[in-house]
Each structure stands twice: as C-alpha cells, then as structure tokens.
C-alpha cells in the first residue's frame, strides 16, 4: 500500500480495485503515510492558506425525497422556513463585512425562488465587494443555470452522493443518476467552477463504490469536492443505520487530495460535527465552510442531527477561526476568492 500511495503522490491514477484496497486497509502505518502524503501535496499545490466560506441556508423547503435527508419532502415534522430576499441579502452583507470572501447560497430544491429572484440575489451580492457567489440549489432547468451564470454566479455545488447508479436511483426516487451527471456536465460547460462530492458510509456503499466515487470526481473535472460522513437521521427511511466513520472519511479526503492536487477540498460541516475539522486540515483539506444562516433558522436546516447552532456573531466566529488556524500553522486566504 505504501508504494501505491507513493505512486499516487507522483500523479499516477490507481485502478479502482487497488484504491478500494487502500481505503480498506486498517494498518495505522498506512493511514499515517496516506495523511502525510496528502498534507505534502496540499502544501505544495495550495499552500498554507485556508479558504473560509460562509453558507446561508435560506430555505429548508424541498421537493425531493432523498432517503438519507431529514428535510425530505414527505417529512411532515419539519418546521419549514423561507428567508425573504431582504433577509438573505442582510445575512450575505453580515458575512462579507465579517471578512468572508465567498457566500454560498444553499437551499432545498425550492422552486418558489424563481430564476429571476436568484439572479437578483447573485447580482446584489456580487456588488457587495470582491466576493465569490456559490449556488447550491440542486437540480434546476439548464436555462436557470445559464441565467445565474450571466448574473455573475461563480460556482455551483451539486454532489453525486454515491457513484453506484442503482443505489443512487433507489435513494433519489424523484430523479436519477443520469440527470445528476447531466447537471454537472452542463454547469461545467457554462463555465461554473463545479463543486461535486459524496458521502462516506451510506448504507450499501462498498469499498469499490467508494473508490469509484473518488475516481468519478476526477472524471467530472470538479474544482471542489465535499466529502463527508453519512449521519443518520431518525425521520428518514434509513433510520437505524450507523453513521459513517470519520477516520475513513479522512482517508478518503486524503486520497482525494492525491487524485486532485489543486482542487478545493473542504472540511465539510458533517466532518466538523463529528469533531474532525483539525484532522481534515492535516489530511489534505484547504477549505472551511461556516454557517452564516441567521440563528433563528439554523436549527431548522436539519439535514442531519448535531449541526452547530451556537449564537456567536459572524465577526467573532471568523476571528475565532483565524486563531484556531493560526495555532495549526495555517492562515486564512484573504486575497479575494472571486
């Protein structure tokens, strides 16, 4: 396995089977070697600076039925909310003022926010300064993606979640794996920086599927990849299943760094919930996403349990992160994300 890690560090793409074997290897020495290689590759290609991004979860209304997600359309126990345009812009301004250079607008698939509304939001946020706008709004008509790009949207996050087509289609009865990949292709064609990603530990995911998850990121040419552990939600069809393993997730993030040396790899909110932020930054991650959703809404964006909702002003949250990063020998990237 050590030889495989060395090969990957020099840019060789592994076969799916050997990557699966690497991810399954329980030997601590293999894990350490993998983490150290990923850290070297991150340092060489991305440096010490960490990109810090603010997520505004502006609506938890969703038409989809993802079987792992607490916000799925049929969950009648969710208290639904939809922020107004004014509230969204206020939250974005707070984030920009606090120092965040990327604002991520995220929601369930909520079609009540029209193409024009989202376009207006993007344009208004772009006018706030040297700020990048990332959208994470799910599957929408391709005309919407084109419209928002024209209004200045820089990036789009849309994960493939699991690369096994049969499992994907079973877990997403409202859509299909083919439709998801078609969205990713179209977003790249329109010039968005494409953000992909997947979960580790989804029920049914084998080591070979996990290896193919990683290789699919490369094939789709993602510029960013969010990789987080599955966290079980009791109000879903997958209730009772164990959570994904954080150490395995860190190994997968490290392998992603070797496969995608220059990509932006966040320590995802799901990793952070499981206490893995510091470790992820030592295993190849170079991005942190922090919530900038107004506190009264944070607990309601309940994709999975345990998400952070401490009432700390954004500026304070940003400065606390700066101190935390400094203790790790890292800095915040502040040269403009747009």
Q: Which residues bind ligand SF4 (CB under 6 A)?
A: 62, 64, 66, 69, 71-72, 108-109, 138, 303
The secondary element (H helix, E strand) that includes residue 246 is helix 246-259
Task: Give the residue ranges of DSSP H helices in 172-233.
Answer: 177-189, 207-219
Residue 16 phi/psi, 5-degree rounding, is -55, -40
**Residues 253, 284 contacting (CB under 8 angstroms):** yes
For residue 63, the minimal CB distance to ligand SF4 (Å) is 8
For residue 162, the minimal CB distance to ligand SF4 (Å) is 12
In the complex with ligand SF4, the residue whose CB is nearer, 81 or 93, is: 81
Beta-strand ranges (E) seen in the chain are 49-59, 102-107, 132-136, 155-157, 193-200, 224-229, 266-267, 287-291, 331-332
**Residues 99, 334 contacting (CB under 8 angstroms):** yes
In the complex with ligand SF4, the residue whose CB is nearer, 215 or 303, is: 303
The burial class, CB within 10 Å (0-12 / 13-18 / 19+), for 288 is: buried
For residue 111, the minimal CB distance to ligand SF4 (Å) is 12
In the complex with ligand SF4, the residue whose CB is nearer, 62 or 253, is: 62
For residue 256, the minimal CB distance to ligand SF4 (Å) is 21
In the complex with ligand SF4, the residue whose CB is nearer, 109 or 154, is: 109
Distance CA 284, CA 14 (A): 18
In the complex with ligand SF4, the residue whose CB is nearer, 192 or 301, is: 301
For residue 64, the minimal CB distance to ligand SF4 (Å) is 4
In the complex with ligand SF4, the residue whose CB is nearer, 230 or 318, is: 230
Distance CA 261, CA 296 (A): 38
For residue 171, the minimal CB distance to ligand SF4 (Å) is 9
């Amino acid at each position: 396995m050590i030889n495989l890690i060395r090969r990957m560090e020099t840019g060789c793409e592994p076969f799916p089977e050997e990557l699966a074997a690497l991810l399954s290897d329980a030997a601590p020495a293999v894990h350490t070697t993998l983490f150290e290689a990923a850290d070297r590759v991150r340092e060489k290609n991305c440096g010490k600076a960490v990109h810090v991004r603010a997520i505004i979860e502006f609506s938890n209304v969703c038409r989809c039925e993802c079987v792992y997600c607490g916000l799925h359309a049929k969950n009648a126990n969710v208290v639904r909310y939809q922020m107004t345009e004014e509230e969204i812009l206020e939250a974005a301004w707070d984030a920009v003022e606090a120092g965040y250079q990327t604002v991520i607008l995220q929601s369930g698939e909520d079609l009540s926010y029209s193409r024009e509304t989202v376009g207006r939001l993007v344009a208004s946020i772009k006018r706030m300064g040297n700020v990048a706008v990332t959208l994470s709004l799910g599957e929408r008509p391709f005309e919407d993606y084109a419209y928002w790009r024209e209004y200045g949207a820089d990036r789009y996050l849309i994960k493939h979640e699991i690369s096994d087509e049969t499992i994907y289609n079973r877990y997403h009865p409202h859509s299909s794996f083919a439709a998801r990949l078609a969205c990713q292709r179209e977003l790249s064609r329109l010039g968005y920086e494409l953000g992909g990603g997947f979960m580790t530990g989804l029920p049914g995911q084998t080591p070979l599927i996990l290896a193919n998850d990683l290789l699919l990121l490369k094939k789709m040419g993602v510029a960013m990849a969010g990789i987080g552990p599955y966290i079980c939600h009791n109000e879903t069809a997958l209730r009772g299943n164990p959570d994904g393993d954080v150490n395995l997730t860190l190994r997968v993030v490290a392998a992603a760094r070797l496969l995608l040396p220059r990509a932006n790899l966040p320590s995802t909110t799901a990793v952070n919930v499981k206490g893995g932020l510091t470790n992820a930054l030592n295993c190849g991650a170079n991005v942190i996403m922090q919530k900038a959703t107004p506190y009264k809404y944070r607990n309601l964006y309940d994709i999975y349990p345990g998400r952070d909702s401490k009432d700390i002003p954004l500026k304070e949250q940003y400065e606390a992160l700066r101190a935390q990063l400094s203790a790790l020998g890292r800095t915040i990237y502040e040269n403009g994300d747009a």
